[in-house]
């Protein structure tokens, strides 16, 4: 077998790896035989040189095999998993997991932590006092049997290679690579065992794929890998040109998810959640049309059944009863408002800058293993298209120190683009990729 140095050299020169080489690399990195500095160099080479489909598939399967592959076939309900490729104020998973479980599917989900300027479901859930997000195989299976809903991080027993690579990519600027994202997402999805997989591929400045072409290619790779492994997969392309919800930051997003589950909350976030959940019900065969699914889901939101499902799920993984007592969520020491410097229409809210500001406030990591301030982040007080007066609040910042607030404020000075005319609103759902290829929503 080639040395790690040779594999880095090969990739740096743009050569393709063999399946055996990728298997060796993943196995030895997982077992701590390859140090982080060599892995970082290899990841950066992949960012520059890419990987072809065969390499991406081989990397995915090697990462999947780095731990247990769950066999989930006796839960008596269709098994669904959903995954977002990452965005800003993208709280969809926290809504979808209990909403879909309330609708009768079994939700077996493996999530990640925050990555770069985007939030991660595991960090969000860990803001709930007591919540345990790292389940062992038997705990995960027991929760699925008992309540049809369980969510776990990558662990020593399930997809450990992704757990390690993900943490390293987060802090080495090696996230925005199509093959690395595809392998990271699909290794988790395949290892967690669900038969129906719904992917939410984010497109735009607040996502890792900045344009639709790249997002479609990423979706095609992931769908093909999933179908090749015998799973039922569909990818929905959704816009991340602007933040999806209003809250950015871990505990703040949990609170916003509860708003949506109470039948309230920001409209665009609610609509995208309903669309994704409808797609999942159709994928799992529980609804025949998106309209039929939508009606069923609205009833679950309005009746409080989805919220109760969320409450039971959080309790089952050790979390505090934040539905009954929302003040149990951590609160920031300092809160400060960002005011509009002039009157005008909010033409754009730059999702990327908003995400980076949330990291500066303490909601995301700058180095590996950094402890997060789970209360930190920001809440937008306006949406694209709104008219704001000079001095009106644009956002409220939450942090533990005045230094962090000052740093974020500086970054945010270019995040809100104001003008004399309202900008045209753009659609949130751009299209989808399934076994037949890409379909644009515009057609």
> By the criterion CB under 6 A, which residues form the site for ligand URA?
85-86, 112, 115, 175, 180-181, 184-185
Q: Which range touches Ca ion (CB under 5 A), out of 82-90, 167-175, 308-316, 376-384?
A: 82-90
| Choice among 184, 187, 278, 340 that is catalytic | 184
Q: What are phi and psi of 342, to 5 degrees?
A: -155, 170
Q: What are phi and psi of 376, to 5 degrees?
A: -75, 160
98 binds, among ligand URA, Ca ion, none (CB under 5 to 8 A by kind): none
User: What size, in residues, is the chain?
Assistant: 443
> What are the residues whose beta carbons fall under 8 Å from the beta carbon of 364, sequence distance 6 or more?
114, 116, 117, 118, 119, 355, 358, 372
64 binds, among ligand URA, Ca ion, none (CB under 5 to 8 A by kind): none
- Closer CB to Ca ion, residue 203 or residue 394? 203
Tell me whether residue 162 is one of the annotated catalytic residues. Answer: yes
Cα separation of 150 and 139, whole Å?
A: 9
- Closer CB to Ca ion, residue 78 or residue 226? 226
Q: β-pairing, 232-239 with 196-203?
A: parallel
Q: Closest distance between ligand URA and the C-beta of residue 133, in Å?
A: 14
| Choice among 162, 200, 373, 428 that is catalytic | 162
- Closer CB to ligand URA, residue 65 or residue 404? 65
Q: Please identify which residue in 23, 30, 56, 84 interacts with Ca ion, judged by CB under 5 A.
A: 84
Report the residue number whose CB is nearest to ligand URA: 184
85 binds, among Ca ion, ligand URA, none (CB under 5 to 8 A by kind): ligand URA
185 binds, among ligand URA, Ca ion, none (CB under 5 to 8 A by kind): ligand URA
Tell me whether residue 188 is one of the annotated catalytic residues. Answer: yes
Cα separation of 437 and 344, whole Å?
A: 42
Closest to 281 in 3D by CA, of 88, 155, 28, 104: 104
Token readout for 95 is 């809504």
For the chain, the helix, strand and coil percentages under 3-state DSSP, each to the nearest 5? 45, 15, 40
Q: Closest distance between ligand URA and the C-beta of residue 182, in Å?
A: 8
Q: In what order do the strands lie in the sheet with 106-111?
A: 149-153, 106-111, 79-84, 196-203, 232-239, 429-434, 437-440
181 binds, among Ca ion, ligand URA, none (CB under 5 to 8 A by kind): ligand URA
- Beta-bridge partners for 418: 346
Q: Closest distance between Ca ion and the C-beta of residue 419, in Å?
A: 31
Q: Closest distance between ligand URA and the C-beta of residue 96, in Å?
A: 15
| Choice among 17, 57, 82, 83 that is catalytic | 83
Q: Find where tokens 């939410």 sit.
A: 200
Q: Closest distance between ligand URA and the C-beta of residue 234, in Å?
A: 17
199 binds, among ligand URA, Ca ion, none (CB under 5 to 8 A by kind): none
SS3 of 97, please?
Answer: helix
Q: Closest distance between ligand URA and the C-beta of residue 158, in Å?
A: 13
For the chain, state the CA radius of gyration.
Answer: 21
Please tell me what DSSP assigns to residue 266.
-
Q: Which range touches Ca ion (CB under 5 A), out of 11-19, 77-85, 148-156, 408-416?
A: 77-85
Cα separation of 377 and 256, whole Å?
A: 13
Side-chain half-sphere CA neighbours of 387 within 13 A: 3
Q: Please identify which residue in 17, 58, 78, 86 interacts with Ca ion, judged by CB under 5 A.
A: 86
- Closer CB to Ca ion, residue 84 or residue 340? 84
Please tell me what DSSP assigns to residue 288.
S
- Closer CB to Ca ion, residue 117 or residue 416? 117
Tell me whether residue 83 is one of the annotated catalytic residues. Answer: yes
Cα three-residue angle 278-284-289, rounded to 5 degrees: 45
Q: Closest distance between ligand URA and the C-beta of residue 418, in Å?
A: 32
- Closer CB to ligand URA, residue 68 or residue 282? 68
Three-class SS of 343-410: CEEEEEECHHHHHHHHHHHCCCCCCCCCCCCCCCEEEECCCCCCEECCCCEEEEEEECCHHHHHHHHH
- Closer CB to Ca ion, residue 338 or residue 372? 372
Q: Closest distance between ligand URA and the C-beta of residue 356, in Å?
A: 17
| Choice among 169, 196, 242, 268 that is catalytic | 169
238 binds, among Ca ion, ligand URA, none (CB under 5 to 8 A by kind): none
- Closer CB to ligand URA, residue 64 or residue 309? 64
Which positions are catalytic? 83, 162, 169, 184, 188
**Residues binding Ca ion (CB under 5 A):** 84, 86
């Amino acid at each position: 077998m080639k040395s790690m140095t040779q594999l880095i050299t090969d990739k740096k020169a743009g050569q393709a790896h063999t399946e055996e080489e990728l298997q060796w690399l993943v196995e030895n990195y997982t077992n701590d035989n390859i140090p982080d500095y060599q892995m970082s160099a290899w990841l950066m080479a992949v960012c520059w040189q890419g990987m072809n489909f065969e390499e991406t598939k081989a990397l995915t399967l090697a990462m999947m095999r780095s731990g247990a592959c769950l066999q989930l076939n006796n839960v008596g309900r269709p098994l669904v998993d959903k995954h977002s490729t990452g965005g800003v104020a993208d709280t969809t998973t926290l809504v979808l997991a209990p909403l879909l479980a309330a609708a009768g599917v079994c939700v077996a989900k493996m999530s990640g932590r925050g990555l770069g300027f985007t939030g991660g479901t595991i960090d969000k859930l860990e803001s709930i006092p007591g919540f345990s997000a790292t389940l062992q195989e038997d705990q995960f299976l027991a929760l699925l049997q008992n309540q049809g809903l369980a969510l776990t991080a990558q662990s020593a027993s399930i997809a450990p290679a992704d757990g390690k690579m993900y943490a390293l990519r987060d802090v080495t600027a090696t996230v925005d690579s199509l093959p690395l994202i595809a392998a990271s997402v699909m290794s988790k999805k395949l290892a967690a065992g669900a038969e129906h997989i719904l992917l939410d591929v984010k497109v735009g400045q607040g996502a890792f794929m900045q344009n639709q072409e790249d997002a479609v290619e990423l979706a095609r790779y992931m769908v093909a890998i999933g179908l090749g492994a015998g799973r039922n997969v569909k990818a929905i392309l959704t816009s991340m040109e602007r933040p999806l919800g209003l809250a950015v930051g871990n505990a703040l997003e949990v609170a916003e998810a509860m708003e949506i589950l109470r039948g309230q909350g920001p409209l665009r976030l609610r609509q995208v959640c309903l669309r994704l959940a409808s797609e999942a019900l159709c994928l799992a065969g529980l609804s025949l049309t998106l309209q039929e699914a939508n009606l069923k889901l609205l009833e679950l939101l309005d009746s409080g059944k989805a919220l109760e499902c969320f409450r039971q799920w959080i309790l089952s993984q050790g979390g505090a009863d934040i539905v009954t007592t929302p003040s149990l969520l951590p609160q920031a020491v300092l809160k400060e408002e960002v005011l509009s410097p002039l009157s005008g229409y909010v033409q754009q809210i730059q999702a990327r800058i908003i995400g980076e500001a949330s990291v500066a406030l303490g909601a995301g990591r700058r180095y590996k293993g950094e402890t997060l301030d789970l209360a930190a982040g920001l809440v937008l007080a306006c949406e694209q298209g709104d008219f704001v007066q000079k001095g009106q609040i644009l956002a409220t910042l939450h942090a533990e120190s005045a230094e962090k607030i000052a740093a974020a404020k500086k970054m945010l000075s270019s995040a809100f683009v104001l003008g004399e005319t309202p900008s045209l609103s753009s659609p949130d759902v751009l299209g989808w990729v399934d076994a037949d290829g890409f379909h644009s929503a515009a057609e």
